[in-house]
Amino acid sequence: MRVFLIAGEPSGDALGRALMAGLKELVPEVAFQGVGGPLMEGEGMTSLFPMDELSVMGLAEILPRYPALKRRLNQTIAAVLEAKPDVLVTIDSPDFCLRVAKGVKAASDQRIVHYVAPTVWAWRPKRAGKMAGLVDQVLALFPFEPPYLERAGVRCDFVGHPVVTEPQATEAEAAAFRLAHGLGDAPLLLLLPGSRRGEVSRLAPVMGPVLARMTADRPGLRAVLPAARSVAGLVQEAVEGWAVKPLVLDPREAGAGFAAAKRAAFRAADAALAASGTVSLELAAAETPMVIAYDMHWLTRAVMQRMLLTDTVTLVNLVAESRTVPEFLGAACRPEPIVAALSQVLDAPDGQRAAMRLCMERLGRGAEPPGLRAARAVLDGMAPG
């Protein structure tokens, strides 16, 4: 069995690795090729080109890189058509992946599975209908997504979210983290400004003043910022200008120990201020209460605000069908209201726990691993009849 996979950012790389591992468990002779990051390469795939060339988000951010992305798009389509795999699996990154699917479908009858349903429940609902002619099957991370795709005539299988299988730090590991960094019993705020340069450049100027005001109100408070490898240098530059500096966990310095340190920081923290995205699920898995903040280029913001269909974008709120996690988006992403919300969370840290636990249960905690479920769904979709 030959499988061609395409992932465009770190979260997709993690999904791809788990799917590849699941396929190898069910079909040991499977062979892989495509585009992916270090995790997928670790499972035995050589990437056609560096995956991080595709890690770009937002209309204004994509436009300057369009010629290079177009070249990679044509290269990928040609590689799929030449390989003639048993199945093409495109993973998230819909702006790139669905263009690949369109080009491949225009020239062949290739079976295509898209992993991660588009957020048609949040904005651009017509994408569901457009997918009907591009992909044969969708693998969904969230239990509320299949009906949106099935109404458009696309098979959609809920396979669970990989966050439920990620290891969590113990209390002992959290205590050791505090001891190692001299944090004692101080209230600890976790800062998570995102993994993209645009996210960090917009959230760092907000998080700096938030931290300064929080420490003024709570003199003993400390902060830790685990930086994503892709933006570690930018994060270090940003915090140099802050009045109060957090402890920065730099993956370039921590090496193999970074993941364990990050897990321990999540467990040790009393509250978190995080960019919108999958990190809210990581915090929920660790049961770390949170406040979500996000801003974007003014043009992207204007387009999104006109098309948004839901009153929240925080995944914990959506999956648990609650609104317990405060969020400050776009023009609301300002220090004053964020400080007030963080203070409330620190004063009542148990207020989000029921929603976080329900979220994890609905995403598949305790069930078969999502990567294996995804592999079974792919194989079932390929079965005749």
284: Cβ contacts below 8 Å, ≥ 6 apart: 163, 290, 316, 355, 356, 359, 360
The answer to whether residues 143 and 161 touch, using CB atoms and an 8 Å cutoff, is no
Copy the structure tokens of residue 152: 């458009």
pLDDT in tens, 172-223: 999 999 999 999 999 999 999 998 888 999 999 999 999 999 999 999 999 9
pLDDT in tens, 218-230: 999 999 999 998 8
Query: Coil, strand, or helix at residue 302?
Result: helix
Number of H helices, E strands in the chain: 18, 12
> Exposed, middle or buried by CB within 10 Å (0-12, 13-18, 19+), for 307?
exposed
d(CA 191, CA 209): 12
**What's the rounded mean pLDDT across residues 253-257?**
88
Say yes or no to pLDDT of 382 above 50: yes
Query: Coil, strand, or helix at residue 272?
Result: strand
**What's the rounded mean pLDDT across residues 137-161?**
93
pLDDT in tens, 44-85: 999 999 998 886 544 444 566 678 888 999 999 999 999 999
pLDDT band at residue 132 using 50, 70 and 90 as cut-offs: confident
- Choice among 20-24, 117-121, 265-269, 274-278 with the minimum mean pLDDT: 117-121
* Cα distances (angstroms) measured from residue 84 to each of 32, 109, 367: 12, 10, 34
Of 232 and 302, more confident:
232
**What's the rounded mean pLDDT across residues 284-291?**
97
pLDDT at 313: 83
Q: Give the gyration radius of the chain's Cα atoms.
A: 21
pLDDT at 337: 98
d(CA 41, CA 347): 45
DSSP per-residue codes, 79-111: HHHHH--SEEEEES-HHHHHHHHHHHHHH----
d(CA 252, CA 232): 8
This prediction has a pTM of 0.82
Q: Let me know how long the chain is.
A: 385
**What's the rounded mean pLDDT across residues 156-170?**
95
pLDDT at 178: 97
pLDDT in tens, 301-351: 555 566 565 778 889 999 999 999 999 998 899 999 999 999 999 999 999
Say yes or no to pLDDT of 10 above 90: no
Average pLDDT over the chain reads 91
* Number of CB atoms found within 10 A of residue 306's CB: 8
